[in-house]
Amino acid sequence: MTASVSDPVVRKFVAAVNAGDKDAFFADVLTEDATMSDDGSERDLAAWTEKEIFSPQANGRMEVVEASDDGRSLVVDYTNDTWGTMRTRWIFTVAGDRVSRFETGQAPS
C-alpha cells in the first residue's frame, strides 16, 4: 500500500494514520503550524483529524490507490467507521521532513 508512495514524508503520514498513532502524527509528521482543507474549506486541523481519523468512533485508514507528483498527490480509498469507504484525493506540501499542509476531498469519479 504505502510502497507506491515515493515521498518518504507522505509515506510517514499514511503510516501514522493507518497505525492510529496520533502522537507520532503531530510530533513527527506535521510541522507545528501545519494547515489543512477539506473539500476546499479550511478546517481546524486538530479538530478535523480527531473527528475524521483518530477518535475511536472514526478509526481512519488510507489505502493508496494512485500516487503522482513525486508521491505528494494521492488518490486514496479512505475508510473510517463514521462514513465508510470513499475515494478521496490528498495533496501534500512538504517542508523539510514534515508535512506543512494537506488538502483532501472527494476524488473525481
Rounded Cα distance, 72 and 1, in Å: 15
Per-residue pLDDT of the chain in tens (109 residues, 90 and over written 9):
455 899 999 999 999 999 999 999 999 999 999 999 999 999 999 999 999 999 999 999 999 999 999 999 999 999 999 889 999 999 999 999 999 999 999 998 6
CB 73 within 8 A of CB 92: yes
- Please state, as a whole number, how many other Cβ atoms lie within 10 Å of the Cβ of residue 27: 12
Alpha carbon separation from 22 to 15, 65, 68, 83 (Å, rounded): 11, 23, 26, 20
Q: Hey, what CATH class is 2-106 in?
A: alpha beta
Q: How many residues does the chain have?
A: 109
At 73-94, the pLDDT tens digits run 999 999 999 889 999 999 999 9
Q: What's the pLDDT score for residue 4?
A: 82
